[in-house]
C-alpha cells in the first residue's frame, strides 16, 4: 500500500518518525508562517541597563529602523523575559548594524538564563537580519540578555520563534556509483536509522594497544588489549557498541608495521556483525626536505602535525616529491582496504579528518595550506582509491566545523556521503553554565548548521567525542546525530571512563535506551533494503470511496457526503478519515476544496502528523 500511496500522491519524501495520520494541506500564508513567534519587540522597549535609544551613530545616519530608534550596544545590556510554551529549541534573531570592522566580525554575547554564548556579527552598514542561533528554552519564563563583547553593534528588533527543524530524510545515494552491494546495504540501513535513533560507537586504541599479555592469575577484572573499552562497556551496560572505530595510521611508507587493524576490521564485521569506521592519521617525515621517498624512518621522526617543509599544493601535482610520497602512502592504504573489500566488508571512511582545525591554525598537515589545497587532496584520494584501485566499499565521511569559513572546506556533494563533527566537551559556549565536568549538551545548533552545510542532503554524525550528549538533551533539542564514537582511554586522558569525560549514569541511560542502537540490535546490514521513513497508515488520504485510488470519483463521493451538511459546521469525526483531507477532525466543504485543488495539480503540500507530542512535518 505504501508503494501505491507514493505513486498516487507523488510523495518526494516521508516523515522522520512513524506517522499516525496523513492529510493534505494548503501552503502556509505569511500570517501562518509567523505563528511560531512567541516574542517580538522593539529593542528600545526592552529593559535597558546603562543604555539609551539612538537614531544615528554619531554622524552616520541609519535609515530604515523601526519604532522610535535603535539601541547601540556599547556597554550595559538589553534584557527581556520570554515565556516559552514548552521545553525545546527556539530561534532568537535580530535586525542589526555593525559598522566598526569590515574585516572581522564583532563579538556579541547572548545570555540565556545566565548561560553565555558568543556570536560574531559581520560588518553590515544597513539593517540586516541575523539569527543568534537556536537555543534551548525552559517551559515558562526565561531571562535573556544581549551583551557587547569585543566590539559594538546596533540593534533594532528582537524576535524569538519556535525553531523549525528540517525533515531528516536522506536518500541512500552514494558518491561512488559502483559501490558494492554490501556498501549499499550499509548505507541503506544508516539512512533508515537517521532521525530516529543514534547508533553507539567506540574507538579502539591503535599501535600496541593497551597491555595485551595477561599476567599470572588474571581473573578478568583488568581490561586488556584492544578490547579494553569494549569489554568495559559490556561489563557495565551488558551490551557492546554497534560501531567500532579503527585507525590505519600504522600502514605507511615510513615505519609502517602491521598491527592487525585490517584483520580486526574484518573480524568485527564478519564475525560480530559490527559496523566499522576508519580514520587515517597518515604521517610525514618530520624533515621532509631531506627525506628520500621510500626510505624507512623511525616513528619518533614522523608526525601528522603541520610540516613546513611539505607543500600540500604540490601533493596533487605529478612529478613533485610530495605527490610521489602521497601516492606511495595511498598505495599502502589501498593494499589493506582491498583485503577488507575482498572479505565483503564496507567501512565508513573518514580520511584527512579535522582539516580546518581552528581558523588559521591547522592541527594536521593536510589542512595547513588552506581549503583549496585540502579539497584537491580529498578529491585525489577519492579518485585514486575508486578508479585506480577499484575500491568500492567506502562510505566517505567528511569532518566539518561550523565556522563562517567552514563551507569553503566542503569538497562537494559528489565527493562526500556523510558529514561528521568531533565533539570534545565543548567547554566554550556550553549551555549548562557549568565547567570542569562532562558537557552533556546535544549541541543542536551545531547539528543543524551541519545539516544546512549540504542543504540537508547528507547524513550528519559525531565520529569522535568524549562526552556523549544526554538522552534528554538529544530528544528535547532534536539533535539526531547518526552515531557517536567515544575516543579511547590512554591512561592519562580516559575519554570513555574518565569521570571528567562521561557521567556513568548518563552513559548507561543512553546505552540501555530504545533510542540507542547497540551491537545486538543490528540487522543483516550488508543486505539491508532501504525502506524510507514512510508513514505507517492504513488508509490513503483523499480515497473517500476506499478503492485504493485518489481521483475524480473521490471528489464526487465527498460531494455526496457533504450535500446534507453544507449548512452546518461539518461532521465531527471520532478518528482519522480519508475524507478529512485537511486533518482538522471534521468533514466539511474545505476538505472538498482541498481535494479538488490537488486533483487539478495546484500547489498542495502533504503533511504527516507524527506522534502526538511532535509537530507536523510538511513535505
| pLDDT tens figures, 312-353 | 999 999 999 999 999 999 999 999 999 999 999 999 999 999
Q: Give Cα separations from 281 to 303, 305, 437 (angstroms).
A: 9, 9, 29
The CATH fold of domain 2-31+534-618: Type 1 dockerin domain (1.10.1330)
Confidence of residue 392 (pLDDT cuts 50, 70, 90): very high
Domain boundaries, the chain: 2-31+534-618, 37-162
Average pLDDT on 383-398 reads: 98
Q: Please tell me the predicted confidence (pLDDT) of residue 31.
A: 40
Q: Please tell me the predicted confidence (pLDDT) of residue 564.
A: 58
Whether residue 137 has pLDDT greater than 60: yes
64 vs 209, higher pLDDT: 64
- What is the C-alpha separation between 228 and 173, in angstroms, rounded? 36
Taking only the tens place, the pLDDT of each residue in 38-85 is 999 999 999 999 999 999 999 899 999 999 999 999 989 999 999 999
| Residue 28: φ, ψ to 5° | -70, 145
The sign of the dihedral angle between the CA atoms of 249, 254, 257, 262 is positive
* Concatenated DSSP letters of 241-274: BSEEEEE-TT-STTT----SHHHHHHHHHHTT-P
- What is the C-alpha separation between 330 and 338, in angstroms, rounded? 12
* CATH annotation of 37-162: 2.60.120.260
Average pLDDT on 585-606 reads: 70
Taking only the tens place, the pLDDT of each residue in 416-467 is 999 999 999 866 667 776 777 899 999 998 999 999 999 999 999 999 999 9
Whether residue 21 has pLDDT greater than 70: no
> What does the mean pLDDT of the chain come to?
86
Q: Please tell me the predicted confidence (pLDDT) of residue 611.
A: 37
Whether residue 145 has pLDDT greater than 80: yes
Taking only the tens place, the pLDDT of each residue in 216-244 is 443 444 557 899 999 999 999 999 999 99
User: Of all residues in the chain, what percent carry a pLDDT higher than 70?
Assistant: 84
Q: Please tell me the predicted confidence (pLDDT) of residue 516.
A: 98
Confidence of residue 208 (pLDDT cuts 50, 70, 90): confident
Closest CA to 106 of 151, 160, 168, 60: 151
Confidence of residue 605 (pLDDT cuts 50, 70, 90): very low
How far, in whole angstroms, is CA 3 from its chain's centroid? 29
Query: Which residues are CB-contacts of 111 (< 8 A; sequence separation ≥ 6)?
Result: 117, 143, 144, 145, 146, 147
Lowest mean per-residue pLDDT among 17-21, 293-297, 469-473, 610-614 = 17-21
- What is the C-alpha separation between 270 and 602, in angstroms, rounded? 51
Average pLDDT on 576-603 reads: 74
Amino acid at each position: 500500500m505504501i508503494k501505491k500511496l507514493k505513486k498516487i500522491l507523488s510523495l518526494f519524501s516521508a516523515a522522520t518518525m512513524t506517522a499516525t495520520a496523513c492529510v493534505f494541506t494548503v501552503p502556509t500564508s505569511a500570517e501562518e508562517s509567523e505563528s511560531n513567534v512567541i516574542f517580538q519587540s522593539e529593542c528600545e522597549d526592552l529593559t535597558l541597563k546603562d543604555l539609551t535609544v539612538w537614531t544615528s551613530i554619531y554622524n552616520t545616519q541609519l535609515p530604515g529602523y523601526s519604532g522610535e530608534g535603535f539601541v547601540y550596544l556599547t556597554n550595559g545590556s538589553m534584557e527581556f523575559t520570554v515565556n516559552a510554551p514548552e521545553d525545546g529549541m527556539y530561534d532568537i534573531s535580530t535586525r542589526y548594524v555593525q559598522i566598526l570592522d569590515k574585516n572581522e566580525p564583532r563579538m556579541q554575547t547572548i545570555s540565556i538564563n545566565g548561560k553565555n554564548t558568543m556570536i560574531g556579527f559581520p560588518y553590515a552598514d544597513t539593517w540586516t537580519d541575523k539569527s543568534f542561533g537556536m537555543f534551548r528554552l525552559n517551559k515558562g519564563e526565561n531571562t535573556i540578555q544581549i551583551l557587547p563583547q569585543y566590539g559594538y553593534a546596533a540593534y533594532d528588533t528582537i524576535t524569538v520563534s519556535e525553531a523549525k527543524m528540517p525533515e531528516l530524510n536522506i536518500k541512500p545515494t552514494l558518491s561512488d556509483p559502483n559501490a558494492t552491494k554490501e556498501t549499499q546495504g550499509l548505507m541503506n540501513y544508516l539512512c533508515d536509522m537517521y532521525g530516529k535513533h543514534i547508533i553507539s560507537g567506540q574507538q579502539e586504541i591503535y599501535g600496541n594497544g593497551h597491555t595485551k599479555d595477561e599476567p599470572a592469575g588474571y581473573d578478568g577484572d583488568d581490561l586488556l588489549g584492544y578490547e579494553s573499552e569494549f569489554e568495559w562497556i559490556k561489563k557495565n551496560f551488558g551490551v557492546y557498541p554497534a560501531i567500532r572505530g579503527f585507525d590505519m595510521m600504522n600502514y605507511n611508507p615510513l615505519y609502517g608495521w602491521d598491527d592487525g587493524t585490517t584483520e580486526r576490521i574484518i573480524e568485527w564485521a564478519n564475525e560480530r556483525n559490527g559496523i566499522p569506521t576508519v580514520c587515517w592519521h597518515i604521517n610525514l617525515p618530520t624533515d621532509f626536505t631531506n627525506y628520500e621517498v621510500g626510505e624507512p624512518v623511525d616513528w619518533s621522526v614522523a608526525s601528522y602535525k603541520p610540516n613546513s617543509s611539505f607543500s600540500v599544493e604540490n601533493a596533487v601535482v605529478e612529478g613533485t616529491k610530495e605527490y610521489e610520497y602521497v601516492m606511495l602512502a595511498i598505495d599502502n592504504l589501498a593494499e589493506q582496504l582491498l583485503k577488507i573489500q575482498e572479505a565483503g566488508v564496507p567501512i565508513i571512511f573518514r580520511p584527512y579528518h579535522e582539516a580546518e582545525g581552528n581558523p588559521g591554525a591547522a592541527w594536521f598537515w593536510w589542512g595547513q595550506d588552506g581549503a583549496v589545497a585540502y579539497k584537491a587532496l580529498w578529491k585525489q584520494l577519492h579518485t585514486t582509491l575508486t578508479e585506480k584501485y577499484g575500491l568500492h566499499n567506502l562510505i566517505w565521511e567528511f569532518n566539518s566545523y561550523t565556522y563562517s569559513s567552514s563551507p569553503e572546506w566542503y569538497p562537494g556533494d559528489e565527493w562526500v556521503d556523510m558529514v561528521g563533527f568531533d565533539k570534545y566537551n565543548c567547554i566554550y559556549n556550553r549551555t549548562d553554565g557549568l565547567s570542569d565536568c562532562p558537557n552533556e549538551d546535544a549541541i543542536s545548533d551545531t547539528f543543524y548548521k551541519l545539516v544546512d552545510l549540504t542543504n540537508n542532503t547528507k547524513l550528519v554524525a559525531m565520529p569522535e567525542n568524549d562526552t556523549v550528549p544526554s538522552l534528554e538533551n538529544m530528544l528535547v533539542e532534536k539533535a539526531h546525530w547518526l552515531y557517536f564514537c567515544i575516543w579511547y582511554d590512554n591512561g592519562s586522558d580516559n575519554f570513555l571512563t574518565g569521570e571528567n569525560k562521561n557521567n556513568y549514569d548518563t552513559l548507561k541511560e543512553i546505552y540501555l535506551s530504545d533510542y540507542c542502537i547497540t551491537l545486538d540490535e543490528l540487522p543483516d546490514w550488508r543486505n539491508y533494503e532501504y525502506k524510507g521513513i514512510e508513514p505507517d497508515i492504513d488508509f490513503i488520504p483523499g480515497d473517500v470511496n476506499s478503492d485504493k485510488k485518489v481521483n475524480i470519483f473521490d471528489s464526487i463521493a465527498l460531494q455526496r457526503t457533504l450535500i446534507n451538511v453544507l449548512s452546518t459546521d461539518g461532521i465531527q469525526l471520532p478518528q482519522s478519515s480519508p475524507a478529512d483531507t485537511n486533518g482538522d477532525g471534521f468533514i466539511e466543504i474545505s476538505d472538498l476544496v482541498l481535494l479538488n485543488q490537488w486533483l487539478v495539480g495546484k500547489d498542495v503540500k502533504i503533511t504527516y502528523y507524527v506522534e502526538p507530542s511532535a509537530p507536523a512535518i510538511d513535505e
